[in-house]
Amino acid sequence: MRHIISVLVENEAGVLSRVAGLFSARGFNIESLTVAPVGNGETSRITLVTLGSDPIIEQILKQLNKLVPVIQVSDLSEGPHVGRELMLVKVLTERGQHDKNPRDEVLNVVRIFRAQVVDATPGSLIIEVTGDNDKLNACLAMLEPFGVAEMVRTGQVALSRGVRK
């Protein structure tokens, strides 16, 4: 099963390689990983998405906790949570052989997915879209037929809902 694991760490040199090294050394799988400083910059939050059976996930959580600079580990998939990912897609908008202007149709897709155009050139648009994994995949499927020159995704970030006591 897929799990979103949120790891609060000391923001110090080498901490990311400790986390990544743990996954490679123990043969755990990482689907995506994001990291950035949070709060006053003393800490960073790593959000990683991983796949594994319950015993594997239990090991992952324990092994992460064991790393010295790790302050807190939580498995967000255990409770209600909100997850988001951001994707930038560079779509080609050159006039195709059907003689139709693809730009309008791309803009239609943008509207449907509540995405944004963040850059435009005569031959391309960069679309920014935010949402959960499924939404991004659906949007990408709609854009691909126009020709995607490049794309990038941030990987998932997430927070649990409500206030935890």
Binding site for another protein (CB under 8 A): 9-10, 13-14, 17-18, 21, 25, 55, 58-59, 62-63, 65-66, 68-71
Contact between residue 25 and residue 86 where contact means Cβ atoms under 8 Å apart? no
CB of 132 to another protein, least distance (A): 30
In the complex with another protein, the residue whose CB is nearer, 30 or 88, is: 30
Helical segments of 11-154, H only: 15-25, 54-66, 102-112, 133-143
Distance CA 15, CA 89 (A): 30
In the complex with another protein, the residue whose CB is nearer, 8 or 151, is: 8
Helix (H) or strand (E) holding 102: helix 102-112
Tokens representing 152 are 């990038």
CB of 8 to another protein, least distance (A): 9
In the complex with another protein, the residue whose CB is nearer, 61 or 107, is: 61
